[in-house]
Amino acid sequence: MRTAIITGGASGIGRAVAGELVRRGARVTVADLERGDDPEVVSVKLDVTDPEAVAALVGQVKREYGRLDLIMNNAGIAIGGATDELTLDHWNRAIDVNLRGVVHGVHAAYPVMVEQGFGHIVNTASLAGLVPAPLMLPYTTTKHAVVGLSTALRAEAARHGVRVSVVCPGFTDTPLLDHANPDLPETEASKHARSAAIRVQGRLYPVEDLARDIVRGIARNQALIVAPASARAAWRGVRLSPSSAIRVAARAVRGLTRNV
Protein backbone atom coordinates (compact mmCIF):
# COMPACT_ATOMS: atom_id res chain seq x y z
CA MET A 1 0.00 0.00 0.00
CA ARG A 2 1.39 3.36 -1.00
CA THR A 3 -1.10 6.16 -0.37
CA ALA A 4 -4.01 6.43 2.05
CA ILE A 5 -6.55 8.97 3.24
CA ILE A 6 -8.10 8.60 6.69
CA THR A 7 -10.95 10.87 7.73
CA GLY A 8 -11.47 11.48 11.41
CA GLY A 9 -7.82 10.58 11.77
CA ALA A 10 -6.62 13.10 14.36
CA SER A 11 -7.56 10.87 17.29
CA GLY A 12 -8.97 7.51 18.26
CA ILE A 13 -9.28 4.72 15.71
CA GLY A 14 -8.22 6.84 12.75
CA ARG A 15 -5.05 8.03 14.41
CA ALA A 16 -4.10 4.51 15.48
CA VAL A 17 -4.69 3.09 12.00
CA ALA A 18 -2.67 5.92 10.47
CA GLY A 19 0.24 4.97 12.74
CA GLU A 20 0.00 1.33 11.71
CA LEU A 21 -0.03 2.22 8.02
CA VAL A 22 2.93 4.58 8.38
CA ARG A 23 4.91 1.82 10.09
CA ARG A 24 4.21 -0.34 7.04
CA GLY A 25 5.54 2.32 4.68
CA ALA A 26 2.36 4.06 3.53
CA ARG A 27 2.06 7.78 2.85
CA VAL A 28 -0.95 8.79 4.91
CA THR A 29 -3.07 11.92 4.70
CA VAL A 30 -5.11 12.44 7.86
CA ALA A 31 -8.20 14.61 7.52
CA ASP A 32 -10.17 15.92 10.48
CA LEU A 33 -12.02 18.96 11.74
CA GLU A 34 -8.89 19.73 13.74
CA ARG A 35 -5.42 19.26 12.32
CA GLY A 36 -3.50 16.43 13.93
CA ASP A 37 -0.06 16.75 15.48
CA ASP A 38 1.60 13.64 14.05
CA PRO A 39 4.65 14.68 12.00
CA GLU A 40 4.70 11.33 10.17
CA VAL A 41 1.47 12.04 8.29
CA VAL A 42 0.10 14.86 6.17
CA SER A 43 -2.58 16.56 8.24
CA VAL A 44 -5.40 18.56 6.66
CA LYS A 45 -8.55 20.17 7.98
CA LEU A 46 -11.73 18.62 6.56
CA ASP A 47 -15.44 18.60 7.27
CA VAL A 48 -16.78 15.34 5.83
CA THR A 49 -20.27 16.82 5.58
CA ASP A 50 -18.94 19.06 2.78
CA PRO A 51 -18.89 16.91 -0.38
CA GLU A 52 -16.91 19.44 -2.42
CA ALA A 53 -14.18 19.53 0.22
CA VAL A 54 -13.99 15.73 0.34
CA ALA A 55 -13.78 15.52 -3.45
CA ALA A 56 -11.07 18.21 -3.49
CA LEU A 57 -8.96 16.26 -1.01
CA VAL A 58 -9.25 13.03 -2.98
CA GLY A 59 -8.29 14.88 -6.16
CA GLN A 60 -5.34 16.54 -4.45
CA VAL A 61 -3.93 13.23 -3.18
CA LYS A 62 -4.39 11.59 -6.58
CA ARG A 63 -2.61 14.46 -8.34
CA GLU A 64 0.23 14.57 -5.84
CA TYR A 65 0.96 10.85 -5.66
CA GLY A 66 -0.49 9.64 -8.95
CA ARG A 67 -2.69 7.07 -7.21
CA LEU A 68 -5.02 6.45 -4.30
CA ASP A 69 -4.63 3.03 -2.72
CA LEU A 70 -6.93 3.38 0.27
CA ILE A 71 -9.52 5.67 1.75
CA MET A 72 -10.80 5.00 5.25
CA ASN A 73 -14.08 6.83 5.81
CA ASN A 74 -13.74 6.87 9.56
CA ALA A 75 -15.07 10.23 10.78
CA GLY A 76 -18.02 9.79 13.10
CA ILE A 77 -19.81 11.00 16.20
CA ALA A 78 -21.51 9.21 19.08
CA ILE A 79 -25.16 9.89 19.87
CA GLY A 80 -26.65 8.50 23.07
CA GLY A 81 -30.04 8.73 24.69
CA ALA A 82 -33.44 7.11 24.98
CA THR A 83 -35.31 7.71 21.73
CA ASP A 84 -38.00 9.80 23.42
CA GLU A 85 -35.28 12.16 24.70
CA LEU A 86 -33.72 12.77 21.32
CA THR A 87 -34.50 15.64 18.98
CA LEU A 88 -34.37 15.76 15.21
CA ASP A 89 -31.08 17.60 15.63
CA HIS A 90 -29.58 14.43 17.15
CA TRP A 91 -30.85 12.38 14.21
CA ASN A 92 -29.79 14.84 11.53
CA ARG A 93 -26.31 15.32 12.94
CA ALA A 94 -25.72 11.58 13.10
CA ILE A 95 -26.94 11.11 9.54
CA ASP A 96 -24.87 14.03 8.25
CA VAL A 97 -21.58 12.88 9.77
CA ASN A 98 -21.85 9.11 10.15
CA LEU A 99 -23.69 8.31 6.93
CA ARG A 100 -23.36 11.21 4.53
CA GLY A 101 -19.71 11.59 5.49
CA VAL A 102 -19.13 8.02 4.31
CA VAL A 103 -21.20 8.58 1.17
CA HIS A 104 -19.13 11.64 0.32
CA GLY A 105 -15.90 9.69 0.70
CA VAL A 106 -17.17 6.84 -1.44
CA HIS A 107 -18.58 9.18 -4.07
CA ALA A 108 -15.24 10.97 -4.37
CA ALA A 109 -12.85 8.00 -4.20
CA TYR A 110 -14.70 5.21 -5.98
CA PRO A 111 -14.53 6.69 -9.52
CA VAL A 112 -10.80 7.33 -9.04
CA MET A 113 -10.25 3.73 -8.02
CA VAL A 114 -12.42 2.37 -10.84
CA GLU A 115 -10.41 4.39 -13.36
CA GLN A 116 -7.05 3.21 -12.01
CA GLY A 117 -8.29 -0.38 -11.64
CA PHE A 118 -7.40 -0.85 -7.97
CA GLY A 119 -7.92 0.56 -4.51
CA HIS A 120 -9.52 -0.24 -1.20
CA ILE A 121 -12.41 1.59 0.45
CA VAL A 122 -12.68 0.98 4.20
CA ASN A 123 -15.74 2.33 5.99
CA THR A 124 -15.95 2.51 9.76
CA ALA A 125 -19.28 1.28 11.09
CA SER A 126 -19.65 -0.37 14.50
CA LEU A 127 -20.84 -3.51 16.19
CA ALA A 128 -23.98 -1.37 16.56
CA GLY A 129 -24.37 -1.83 12.81
CA LEU A 130 -24.68 -5.59 13.23
CA VAL A 131 -26.64 -6.06 16.46
CA PRO A 132 -29.68 -4.43 18.10
CA ALA A 133 -28.05 -1.51 19.95
CA PRO A 134 -30.64 0.52 21.88
CA LEU A 135 -30.27 3.88 23.65
CA MET A 136 -28.40 5.32 20.67
CA LEU A 137 -30.79 4.86 17.77
CA PRO A 138 -29.46 7.61 15.45
CA TYR A 139 -25.97 6.12 15.80
CA THR A 140 -27.26 2.56 15.39
CA THR A 141 -29.28 3.49 12.32
CA THR A 142 -26.37 5.13 10.54
CA LYS A 143 -24.01 2.26 11.33
CA HIS A 144 -26.44 -0.32 9.95
CA ALA A 145 -26.64 1.82 6.81
CA VAL A 146 -22.85 1.93 6.50
CA VAL A 147 -22.68 -1.87 6.75
CA GLY A 148 -25.32 -2.23 4.03
CA LEU A 149 -23.61 0.34 1.81
CA SER A 150 -20.25 -1.36 2.19
CA THR A 151 -21.29 -4.95 1.58
CA ALA A 152 -23.38 -4.02 -1.47
CA LEU A 153 -20.60 -1.84 -2.90
CA ARG A 154 -18.10 -4.66 -2.33
CA ALA A 155 -20.16 -6.91 -4.60
CA GLU A 156 -20.47 -4.19 -7.24
CA ALA A 157 -16.85 -3.02 -7.07
CA ALA A 158 -15.17 -6.41 -7.43
CA ARG A 159 -15.47 -6.37 -11.23
CA HIS A 160 -13.39 -3.18 -11.29
CA GLY A 161 -10.62 -4.52 -9.07
CA VAL A 162 -11.73 -2.28 -6.18
CA ARG A 163 -11.98 -3.76 -2.69
CA VAL A 164 -14.39 -2.69 0.03
CA SER A 165 -14.31 -3.53 3.75
CA VAL A 166 -16.36 -2.36 6.69
CA VAL A 167 -15.02 -2.11 10.24
CA CYS A 168 -17.40 -3.08 13.06
CA PRO A 169 -15.65 -2.68 16.41
CA GLY A 170 -17.13 -3.23 19.82
CA PHE A 171 -16.66 -0.56 22.48
CA THR A 172 -13.14 0.77 22.03
CA ASP A 173 -11.14 3.02 24.32
CA THR A 174 -11.31 6.25 22.30
CA PRO A 175 -12.28 9.88 23.00
CA LEU A 176 -15.58 9.25 21.19
CA LEU A 177 -17.04 7.88 24.43
CA ASP A 178 -16.16 11.09 26.25
CA HIS A 179 -17.78 13.36 23.66
CA ALA A 180 -21.18 11.84 22.94
CA ASN A 181 -23.81 14.21 21.55
CA PRO A 182 -21.22 16.85 20.55
CA ASP A 183 -22.75 20.35 20.49
CA LEU A 184 -26.16 18.77 21.04
CA PRO A 185 -28.46 18.46 24.07
CA GLU A 186 -27.10 16.08 26.68
CA THR A 187 -28.98 13.00 27.84
CA GLU A 188 -28.33 10.65 30.73
CA ALA A 189 -26.87 8.15 28.29
CA SER A 190 -24.54 10.68 26.70
CA LYS A 191 -23.30 11.88 30.09
CA HIS A 192 -22.32 8.36 31.09
CA ALA A 193 -21.38 6.80 27.75
CA ARG A 194 -17.99 5.50 28.87
CA SER A 195 -19.25 3.89 32.07
CA ALA A 196 -22.21 2.37 30.23
CA ALA A 197 -19.89 0.89 27.61
CA ILE A 198 -17.78 -0.70 30.34
CA ARG A 199 -20.89 -2.14 32.00
CA VAL A 200 -22.04 -3.68 28.72
CA GLN A 201 -18.69 -5.01 27.44
CA GLY A 202 -16.73 -5.38 30.67
CA ARG A 203 -13.52 -3.91 29.23
CA LEU A 204 -12.89 -1.34 26.54
CA TYR A 205 -10.80 -2.67 23.66
CA PRO A 206 -7.42 -0.89 23.32
CA VAL A 207 -7.39 1.22 20.18
CA GLU A 208 -3.89 0.05 19.26
CA ASP A 209 -5.09 -3.57 19.20
CA LEU A 210 -8.05 -2.60 17.04
CA ALA A 211 -5.77 -0.76 14.61
CA ARG A 212 -3.71 -3.91 14.13
CA ASP A 213 -6.90 -5.90 13.57
CA ILE A 214 -8.04 -3.39 10.95
CA VAL A 215 -4.77 -3.29 9.03
CA ARG A 216 -4.58 -7.08 9.12
CA GLY A 217 -8.16 -7.27 7.84
CA ILE A 218 -7.37 -4.84 5.03
CA ALA A 219 -4.37 -6.94 4.00
CA ARG A 220 -6.59 -10.03 3.95
CA ASN A 221 -9.37 -8.20 2.08
CA GLN A 222 -11.95 -9.11 4.73
CA ALA A 223 -15.48 -7.97 3.94
CA LEU A 224 -16.30 -7.31 7.61
CA ILE A 225 -13.62 -6.60 10.19
CA VAL A 226 -15.23 -7.32 13.57
CA ALA A 227 -13.23 -7.03 16.81
CA PRO A 228 -12.64 -7.87 19.61
CA ALA A 229 -13.62 -11.50 20.13
CA SER A 230 -16.58 -10.46 22.32
CA ALA A 231 -17.94 -8.42 19.39
CA ARG A 232 -17.64 -11.41 17.07
CA ALA A 233 -19.49 -13.53 19.64
CA ALA A 234 -22.30 -10.96 19.84
CA TRP A 235 -22.56 -10.83 16.05
CA ARG A 236 -22.67 -14.63 15.92
CA GLY A 237 -25.45 -14.64 18.49
CA VAL A 238 -27.58 -12.26 16.44
CA ARG A 239 -27.20 -14.43 13.35
CA LEU A 240 -28.11 -17.58 15.27
CA SER A 241 -31.15 -16.11 17.04
CA PRO A 242 -32.23 -12.53 16.30
CA SER A 243 -35.14 -12.72 18.74
CA SER A 244 -32.85 -13.83 21.57
CA ALA A 245 -30.46 -10.98 20.78
CA ILE A 246 -33.31 -8.49 21.06
CA ARG A 247 -34.29 -9.94 24.43
CA VAL A 248 -30.70 -9.61 25.64
CA ALA A 249 -30.65 -5.99 24.46
CA ALA A 250 -33.92 -5.30 26.27
CA ARG A 251 -32.46 -6.66 29.51
CA ALA A 252 -29.43 -4.41 29.02
CA VAL A 253 -31.72 -1.40 28.63
CA ARG A 254 -33.47 -2.23 31.90
CA GLY A 255 -30.13 -2.55 33.66
CA LEU A 256 -28.69 0.66 32.24
CA THR A 257 -31.80 2.73 32.95
CA ARG A 258 -32.74 1.27 36.33
CA ASN A 259 -31.49 4.32 38.23
CA VAL A 260 -32.38 6.92 35.60
Question: One of 65, 110, 139, 205 is an active-site residue; which one?
Answer: 139
The rounded distance, in Å, linking the Cα atoms of 124 and 74 is 5
Alpha-carbon separation of residue 98 from 47, 145, 192, 236 (angstroms): 12, 9, 21, 24
Alpha-carbon separation of residue 102 from 57, 73, 98, 191, 231 (angstroms): 14, 5, 7, 26, 22
CA 90 to chain centre: 18
Q: Is 139 a catalytic residue?
A: yes
The rounded distance, in Å, linking the Cα atoms of 85 and 237 is 29
The rounded distance, in Å, linking the Cα atoms of 213 and 152 is 22
Note the residue count of the chain: 260
Catalytic residues: 139
